[in-house]
Chains A and B, each alone.
Chain A
Amino acid sequence: MPGTLDLLILRTLAPEPLHGWGIAQRIRLVSQSALQVGQGALYPALHRLYAQGWVRAEWRGTEHNRQARYYALTRAGRKHLEREQAQWERLSAAIGLVLNQE
């Protein structure tokens, strides 16, 4: 669904800053491998979120002492996430009601 990937990325970044690979892994892990985010979708999405000011990015050393680009939510990004998440929950609840009707 369009916009869903953005929402997933933003939610994944909510607890702590992560680099691109880390985001992909986290999404796979949390969704129990149901959701696989390919790089072809991930990086354009990250750059789009960056350009829109929802996330900021900085180069930092990793635990393996390599340089990686870490993404973190901006304040506007956090608000945007809250709005989008609420919207999504309303929507999925509504869809659930329709699908589970007697």
Chain B
Amino acid sequence: MRWITILDRRCRALLRRGVAERGLEAELGFHRERQIAANLAEGMPLAEARRQAALDFGGVEGFTEAAREARGLAWVHDLVPDLRFGLRLLRRSPGFSAFAVLTLALGIGINVALFTVLCAAALRPLPVPKAERLVTVAQHLASTPGADFSRNVHDDPTFVSWLEYRRYAAENRSLGGLAAYSPFVDTTLDNRAPILGTMTSCNYFAVLGIRPALGRFFAPDECATAGAGAVAVLSDAVWRREFAGERGVLGRTIVLNRTPFTVIGVAPPGFAGTVPVASGFWAPLTMQRAFSPNFNFIGDPNQSWLALLGRLKPGVSMARAAADLNVVAARMNALQPGRRTSVALAGATYLAMPSLRSAVSSASVLILAAVALVLLLACANLAGFLLARAEGRRKEVAVRLALGARRGRLIRQLLTESVLIAALGGFAGALAASFATPALFHLAMSHLPIAPEFHFTLRLAPDWRTWLYAFAIALLTAIAFGLAPALRATRTELTEAMKSGAAPGQTAALRAKPGAGRWQRRLVGAQVAACMILLLAAGLLLRGLGRVLRADPGFQLANVAAVKYDLAGAGYTPARAQAFQQQLASRVAALPGVSAVAQATLLPLGGSHDLTGVRTATGAPSHPVEYNSVSPSFFPLLGIAIQHGRNFTTVEAESGAHVLILARSTAQRIWPGQDAVGKTLDGWGAEWRVVGIAADAQVAGLGSTTSYIYRPAGPDPAADLKMLVRSRGASATLPQEVAATARALDPSLPLTAAPLAANLAATEALAKVVSALAAVLGGLALLLAVIGIYGMVAYAASLRGREIGIRMALGAGRGEVLALVVRQALAPVLWGAALGMAGFAAVALALTGVLYGVSPWDPVAFTAMPLLLLSVALLASYLPARRALAGDPVAVLRCD
């Protein structure tokens, strides 16, 4: 109970400070009186008795302070006067204060904005009641040593099979309910609008604890057997967009991927699923074959396709539930020989899926590092300015130290000032970020190549986490930029500083210079290094963008329409698919204005990749390659020349003959210096003969350097083929015409048609967004570094005013002195730049993925950016130096 007493006493000491102080005075007065009386009793005269008592007493101020500190909360006691003192200082130099607050607001604002996005994705619980009791269950499979077992994975390797879900749900004792769902079901609504939905177990909504806005959610019998439950729940957004928000939608029949479903309910407005991409509808898992007719996921015990979401029973901890589920997991090992199963639980967020998390985290680490660097630059600037100011305050500090103020107390006071600046800056930054983040996020997303049916579920409104984060980094920054100046200001040789006060600007001021100057130069060096890193990153990304915009992809995109349809998803057998393809091709070729039609499983720059390994002989090392199955017309349609050998024949394409065409560089990689035509490759479990060499074309992706081989579009991949159509001139209506032709053949086939150039535009958009971000950050860094350099030179020049005056009085030329000042300023810039370049070169590899083939050590960027930085630095140091020299040297000397 003692701690209650302590707390009580400390609070009282704080709240009733006046009472405590008066009490202390009375207590001390009493003591002095008794001492005087005792001295008198010993026979001292009255005056001497008083003097002795006073001597015994010592310095009153320091003593009351010590007693106060002993009461425990001295710093809170000092806070108000310190804050008042800090505010007075800020008001006294409004220019500096505004600059400092703005700089920090920028630095902190950017950090808070990024945090808001990450927090919304990774930290915030799902928007459902009692979300903190929801857990995601991830199953990790491994094989016992020596055993070899494999697994079919759809979406994420931690997903479970239908059978496993049933056992986890039935055999656990710690969950109030366990739901399963399969996200990202990409299909069409009523054969017209693309829509993204989720297949769920029938207790999904019950486990989440949400109620329908309209109608009902799934009943248990709707998930009883495979094929049961052709019912669907719509999201609020889809209900309003596609059905005008009519209540009559209940009981209506909608067609999802050619299968009729009855609408039974509408989800509440705030809920759009449990992954970052919004779900437009929900349907029972048992309807899986309606969405992918060629697969039977429910009946396949070796198919991972279900994410798990459970609600902990009251009083059960996550650790206990994990132990419980691992017991069930251990029983599963009997399902397959060599299998080792473990289960991990985590609080449910939008980013619970490991594959999503790793994709987001690798990108965000890069951006996080960049914005942290910007904040660091801002801090360095402020530290530099505070250092300069601390020099000006040396006399004041020295006097206070001599009067008995303690160093810790002074440091605290100086820190209060920087905390004040940081608090104001942090508040302004967080406020700006909370308004700007949603807008900026949507702006960036609207420029990214994302399908129209993708909507993000993230809520970017700031909450307590955002504010807490802003507060934490503001405090950290305050210490980062305030501590060094405060420490320096209070570490003073008393006599020397006092002397400098007696004769301002003389020896002491000259002697004071090296210390402060050294600190400032170090800060500027560090700043330039950080700025160099950001500039190089920006430079490289801009070079990448330039390469994308000027790219010659090696094939012709103009006047080509790309038509995508998923025959496999629509339930076509390979034979039927081939018939459909041939029919469609001949009808499209007959359309007016069409000059060529081709088929391919992968569309150029389409963002999908098929990978495999091929060998020159059995046992030879495997070459990783990307492959595409194409019709013979693919090459002439895209203008890719067959440089050697021959094209596929129509017969080969229709029969699926084992012949290959290799891209030129791929052939050289596999058989360096040899003629590849006529040679054979082992792949896809068969032997393939190379019949031709095609010109290199960046069909897989701009800047892609992977090996690429073409197979003939035979009967096997027929269901996966898409169509390319070239028109004679530019035709805006061609995609629609092709789509109409296809619908005439199969009215319910989901299909999209767009100009092929849109794929390039998507790549360009990504490059533009990334390099815009980098350019903004780099520009900001440059601005901050310039301010830092300018400040350093201006300050150094002002300190050396006298020295400059003497030099000029002794006959030094203006130019010489100028050169001297600038040269000295550029030293830290040079080593900072070198450091930054070295630092960046070490981490540049991380950017390779977004550079579109530009080397991460690209000489252009590594020349242009340092030159830019150096010339700006030169200007930033020349201007204040010239200003310092503008005055009359005699006046400068007389001023002392």
Contact = CB atoms under 8 A, between A and B. Distances in A.
B71 interface: yes
Contacts of B69: 44
B2 A53 contact: yes
Contacts of A74: 5
Given A43-B24, A53-B5, A38 B30 contact: no
A78 interface: no
Interface in B29-43: 30-31, 33-35, 38
A20 to B, nearest CB: 5
A2 B23 CA distance: 27
A53 B6 contact: yes
Contact of B27 (A24, A52, A69): A69
Nearest to A22: B34
B787 to A, nearest CB: 46
Nearest to A68: B30
B34 A21 contact: yes
Contact of A20 (B3, B27, B71, B72): B27
Contacts, number: 72
A39 B56 contact: yes
A43 B28 contact: yes
B35 A48 contact: no
B66 interface: yes
A53 B10 CA distance: 10
Interface residues of B, number: 29
A53 B30 contact: no
A95 to B, nearest CB: 28
Given A21-B34, A51-B13, A52-B6, A38 B56 contact: yes
B52 to A, nearest CB: 12
B441 interface: no
> Which of the listed residues B10, B34, B35 has the most CB atoms from chain A within 10 Å of its own CB?
B34
A20 B2 contact: no
Contacts of A48: 70-71
Interface residues of A, number: 24
Contacts of B476: none
A40 B66 CA distance: 8
B75 interface: no
B113 to A, nearest CB: 44
A38 to B, nearest CB: 6
B872 to A, nearest CB: 56
A21 B67 contact: no
Contacts of A24: 31
A67 B5 CA distance: 25
Given A52-B6, A53-B5, A40 B63 contact: yes
Contacts of A43: 24, 27-28, 31, 63, 67
Contact of A44 (B2, B38, B70): B70
A67 to B, nearest CB: 7
A50 B20 CA distance: 12
Contacts of A21: 30-31, 34-35
Contact of A51 (B23, B58, B66, B71): B71
A51 B10 contact: yes
A51 B67 contact: no
A51 B56 contact: no
Interface string B45-69: 0000000000011100001001111
Given A51-B10, A51-B13, A20 B31 contact: yes
Contacts of B23: 59, 69
In order of increasing CB-CB distance, the 3 nearest A-B pairs are: A53-B5, A48-B70, A47-B70
Interface of A: 19-21, 24-25, 38-40, 43-45, 47-48, 50-53, 59, 66-69, 74, 76
9 contacts: A39-B31, A39-B57, A39-B63, A47-B68, A47-B70, A47-B71, A51-B72, A59-B23, A68-B27
Interface of B: 2-3, 5-6, 9-10, 13, 23-24, 26-28, 30-31, 33-35, 38, 56-58, 63, 66-72
